[in-house]
């Protein structure tokens, strides 16, 4: 039987890199996509080292593809080339994503479009082209979402919109495939050590290059990746990590006005908050 294969977008750093390494630990060959050739090569090297130090995974394969999930042709080529090199697809993890910070009145519309192109359309494109294989193998589609997909966050209009859209798409896909064997997981990591906040766009579309959070106190990417893979193996539908995330979803469901006030107050306290 062919080895199991997991494809991961946004695999050059943070959660994506950790997901790739965890996949190899669990006996998956991996197809990895990202925009940065240098960073993606580093991820591939880390995966190779993991294979070398494991007696049971010395025949696993690693395939890398330089591309941008905003571009449909890049997503199609990633899926097709992965299939040619790895022979099958069992798991697709739509991890590539960008964030933003800026109040809507001051934000250029091009920023919101870029968020939608990456976070939403990137997921749609890759899922569309991988789906025939995933259905054939009764595999899993995973979307790395956010609490922002359950609760709209102030100064994150484009980010929340893109994650709401992603979750709506994946929930619909799950319902369509209740009898096909396809599993669809929406995973919301919560605040995690990663580059997503430093690479977040401001209201003009430039990278902020700083983080409003104390990154050293956040959940590690490795811990998040392990939890996500555990959820994949268990074929769960949702994964919400951290008590803060679970409370945010609960309060927003039952006490939406309170959730608005609490969320606003949290964002207002961030360094360089637009609400100060």
Please state, in angstroms and rounded to a whole number, the distance separating the CA atoms of residues 129 and 73.
10
pTM, two decimals, is 0.93
pLDDT tens, position by position, 57-114: 568 999 999 999 999 999 999 999 999 999 999 999 999 999 999 999 999 999 999 9
Report the greatest alpha carbon distance in the chain. 59
What is the second-level CATH architecture of the domain 5-245? 3-Layer(aba) Sandwich (3.40)
Active site residue 159: yes
The predicted model gives 194-215 an average pLDDT of 69
Consecutive H or E run containing 161: helix 157-176
Candidate list 159, 191, 238, 264, residue with the active-site label = 159
**201 closest CA partner among 130, 62, 94, 106:** 106
**50 closest CA partner among 18, 94, 11, 83:** 18
How long a stretch of residues is the chain? 276
Query: What are 186's strand-pairing partners?
Result: 143, 238
pLDDT tens, position by position, 126-159: 999 999 999 999 999 999 999 999 999 999 999 9
Segments making up each domain of the chain, as ranges:
5-245
């Amino acid at each position: 039987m062919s080895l199991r294969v997991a494809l991961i977008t946004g695999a050059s750093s943070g959660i994506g890199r950790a997901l790739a390494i965890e996949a190899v630990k669990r006996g998956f060959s991996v197809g990895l996509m990202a925009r940065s050739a240098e960073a993606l090569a580093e991820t591939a090297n880390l995966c190779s080292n993991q294979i070398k130090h494991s007696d049971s995974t010395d025949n696993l394969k690693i395939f890398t593809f330089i591309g941008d999930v905003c571009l449909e042709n890049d997503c199609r080529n990633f899926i097709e080339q992965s299939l040619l090199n790895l022979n099958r697809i069992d798991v697709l993890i739509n991890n590539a994503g960008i964030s933003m910070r800026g109040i809507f009145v001051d934000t250029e519309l091009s920023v919101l479009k870029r968020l939608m192109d990456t976070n939403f359309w990137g997921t749609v494109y890759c899922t569309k082209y991988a789906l025939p294989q995933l259905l054939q193998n009764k595999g899993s589609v995973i979307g790395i979402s956010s609490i922002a997909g359950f609760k709209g966050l102030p100064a994150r209009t484009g980010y929340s919109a893109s994650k709401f859209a992603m979750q709506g798409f994946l929930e619909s896909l799950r319902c369509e495939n209740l009898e096909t064997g396809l599993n669809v997981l929406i995973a919301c990591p919560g605040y995690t050590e990663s580059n997503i906040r430093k690479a977040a766009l401001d209201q003009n579309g430039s990278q902020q290059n700083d983080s409003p959070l104390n990154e050293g106190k956040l959940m590690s990417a490795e811990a998040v990746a392990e939890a996500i893979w555990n959820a994949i193996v268990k074929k769960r539908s949702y994964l919400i990590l951290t008590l803060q995330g679970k409370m945010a979803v609960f309060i927003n469901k039952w006490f939406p006005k309170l959730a608005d006030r609490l969320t606003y107050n949290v964002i207002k306290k961030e360094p360089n908050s637009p609400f100060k």
